Amino acid sequence: MTIPREGTNLDPWYELYADRTAGLSASEVRALFAVASRPEVVSLAGGMPFVSALPLERVTTSMERVMREQGSRALQYGSGQGTPELREHILEIMALEGVRAGVDDVVVTTGSQQALDLIAKLFLDSGDVVLAESPSYVGAMGIFRSYQAEVSHVAMDDDGIIPQALVERIASMRAQGRAIKFLYLIPNFHNPAGVTLSWERRLEIIEIARREGILIVEDNPYGLLWFDRPAPHAMRSVETEGIVYLGSFSKTLAPGFRIGWALAPHGIREKLVLAAESAILSPSVANELIVSDYLASTDWKGQIDTYRGLYRDRRDAMIDALEHYLPDLHWTMPNGGFYIWVTLPDGLDSKGMLPRAVKELVAYTPGTAFFADGSGRANLRLSYCYPSPAEIREGIRRLAGVVRGEQELLSTFSPSTSPERVGTAPHVISPPPNIG
């Protein structure tokens, strides 16, 4: 069925595009990068790791050694599944979170984003349903929409997705005759909410998925970046056949290598390899060999410790600034990862407020980016991973001025809204019962 296209478009090929391209649009996160890259803007928007903390001389040494000793292999096509030596290292990394597997179970991908795309390609038909937390990762929702699937959100709180809410959402979708293809989760230091799914709930969610015959896609780019204590073991550590586990080097090493991976049950793994070969023939052998050499010759666990300390300091700077400049707001308290999820005072709109914030030289990501249904105007995501502590404090100071300005406008032009009520909600360091 062809979807009618309204309006005028200067692209002469517009009418020939496949229907699924209607789901392709620039995300609010992507649209912010042009603004956030201006040097005078304090960007609290993008989740860019602080790669300057890497020992670049060691990375350079690995690059030179690979080209000197394995140059002809590095510049050639490789396996669609990835090099065996990198997959061995990936097993060692996953073991830190309780995951046990074999080398043949791992599929190397061009970032975990490609792994998500391959999974969507394998499972999603037009009109299918993907269950996801409320809110959820904007990049994943963009992929699911591009395959014409519907994202159905499930409520979460400060312990992660709520099991009873999941049961109710499954029943609701099936009562409507909808096909649920999988449950997409970010259990550790959630993007954007910053919360971590508790161990007890992980077991409950796994049991619900088993009972209902629903595949779980466990996306875990942040799991090793904990601050005070490790996150619970991965869900994949207790369930092998019902979970596809996704990992990435983008946050613990560097995103420029574009290396992620999927750990999947046998049947899914075989199809992932075929789909990957169809899409790109093979991942970058050169990058795989460089990362393997770096992991074999460098104290990579110590480097992750360095990242942990750096991001913990930045989180603390952001929390301190929020408490000083915006004590009447609500926010989550992450124990790792990159993000804090903020709830604005009644009546404020994070999407509508963004132009004013950019004018005041501070950027954030509106909460609407993380919902498939347009919700989230009362929320915004703040990222502390890239700016320095001093820049974070200045950014929050500027943001506070924007919030106060919006509150003044609201009280002036909305007589029915009591000035005493706006912005005076009690401060808590945990999200409201339903983050969504």
Looking at the fold, whether 375 and 345 belong to one and the same domain comes out as yes
Average pLDDT over residues 213-239: 97
Looking at the fold, whether 70 and 49 belong to one and the same domain comes out as no
Looking at the fold, whether 312 and 395 belong to one and the same domain comes out as yes
- At residue 335, does pLDDT exceed 50? yes
Looking at the fold, whether 243 and 256 belong to one and the same domain comes out as yes
Looking at the fold, whether 273 and 323 belong to one and the same domain comes out as no
Q: Is residue 16 part of a domain?
A: no
User: What pLDDT score does 411 carry?
Assistant: 84
pLDDT tens digits along 397-423: 999 999 999 999 888 876 554 333 333
Looking at the fold, whether 144 and 248 belong to one and the same domain comes out as yes
User: What pLDDT score does 410 carry?
Assistant: 86
Domain CATH number, residue 336: 3.90.1150.10
Q: Is residue 12 part of a domain?
A: no
Query: Which pTM was predicted?
Result: 0.90
- Domain hosting 83: range is 56-297
The domain boundary, picked from 274, 297, 320, lies at: 297
pLDDT tens digits along 9-33: 788 888 888 887 776 766 555 655 5
- In the predicted model, what is the mean pLDDT of the chain? 91
Q: Is residue 434 part of a domain?
A: no
Q: Is residue 154 part of a domain?
A: yes
The domain boundary, picked from 279, 297, 315, lies at: 297
Average pLDDT over residues 102-109: 96
Domain CATH number, residue 253: 3.40.640.10
Looking at the fold, whether 122 and 220 belong to one and the same domain comes out as yes
User: What pLDDT score does 22 carry?
Assistant: 75
User: What pLDDT score does 11 carry?
Assistant: 84
Looking at the fold, whether 228 and 333 belong to one and the same domain comes out as no
What is the 3-class SS of the chain, one letter each residue? CCCCCCCCCCCCCHHHCCHHHHHCCCCHHHHHHHHHCCCCCEECCCCCCCHHHCCHHHHHHHHHHHHHHHHHHHCCCCCCCCCHHHHHHHHHHHHCCCCCCCHHHEEEECHHHHHHHHHHHHHCCCCCEEEEEECCCHHHHHHHHHCCCEEEEEEEECCEECHHHHHHHHHHHHHCCCCEEEEEECCCCCCCCCCCCCHHHHHHHHHHHHHHCCEEEEECCCCCCECCCCCCCCHHHCCCCCEEEEEECCCCCCHHHCCEEEECCHHHHHHHHHHHHHHHCCCCHHHHHHHHHHHHHCCHHHHHHHHHHHHHHHHHHHHHHHHHHCCCCEECCCCECCEEEEECCCCCCHHHHHHHHHHCCEECEEHHHHCCCCCCCCEEEEECCCCCHHHHHHHHHHHHHHHHHHHHHHHHHCCCCCCCCCCCCCCCCCCCCCCC
pLDDT tens digits along 361-384: 999 999 999 999 989 999 999 999
Looking at the fold, whether 177 and 310 belong to one and the same domain comes out as no
Q: Is residue 435 part of a domain?
A: no
Looking at the fold, whether 289 and 393 belong to one and the same domain comes out as no
Average pLDDT over residues 191-201: 98
